[in-house]
Structure 1
Amino acid sequence: MSIVIHWEAFFQVLGAALVGTVVVVGFYALGLRMMVRSGRSPVVTPAEFTDAITVISEKEARRAAKAAVKAAKKSPLSGGQRTLALLAAYGCFAVCLLAVVGGILLIVVR
């Protein structure tokens, strides 16, 4: 019994994985950047974890939320530019969603 490796198929999968990774990570990062530019920086509330992870206090969380609101007020963009940046962020997240759904469909349908 001999094992045959189909190198062409291997490199097709490798290329698709690399391109998919770059698309998802790149557009997600760009979407986060556009969301921050629009004045809507995502603030994550702290969760309770085990001793292995340092948890920020409620005071630090309130301070971070206050800093995010203050930074949003200091934005040099006009209202229309902020709206455009927010729409661009949603568009970037939509591209990420389509890439993930397309990858899942490729796996399931084939």
Structure 2
Amino acid sequence: MQINWEALGQVFGVSLVVTVALVGVFTLGIVGTSSRKPQVQPDGPADGAVTAGGPGTLTRAGAYACFALCAAAVGYGIHLIVS
């Protein structure tokens, strides 16, 4: 029995890069959809009005695109395993 070390190294390298990239994209999606607590502006109006603090429409759309990319990558991986 012989082990093809070059092929094993390639599989390890590609797996490592894809895993780190997928976790990074998923993290961007989490950050994009996270809503921050409203904060009272110290120099704001005297009535204690709060600022919105939530993600904008473009940020939320980018986050959903990140989640879609993650889902596509997982689906492609399952396709590779099944076929």
TM-score after normalising by structure 1 = 0.56
Of all paired residues, the percent bearing the same amino acid is 42
**CA distance change for structure 1 residues 21 and 76 in 2, over 3 Å: closer, same or farther?**
closer
Aligned residue in 2 for 1:99: 73
Pair 1:90 & 2:64 matched: yes
Matches within 5 A, 1:13-52: 13-36=11-34, 39=35
Residue correspondence of structure 1 range 55-74 to structure 2 within 5 A: 68=37, 70=38, 73-74=51-52
Q: Given that residues 32 and 89 in structure 1 are in contact (C-alpha distance below 8 angstroms), is that contact kept between their aligned partners in structure 2?
A: yes
Consecutive unaligned residues in structure 2, runs of 5 or more: 40-50
Q: Distance in 1 between matches of 2:12 and 2:68?
A: 24
- Displaced runs of 4+ in structure 1, greater than 2 A? none
Higher relative CO (CA 8 A, sep ≥ 6), structure 1 or 2?
1
Cα deviation digits, residues 18-38 of structure 1 (max 9, x gap)? 1221122101110011112xx
User: C-alpha displacement at 1:76, in angstroms?
Assistant: 7.6
Q: TM-score, normalization: structure 2?
A: 0.71
Aligned residue in 1 for 2:4: 6
RMSD: 2.2
Q: How many residues align?
A: 72
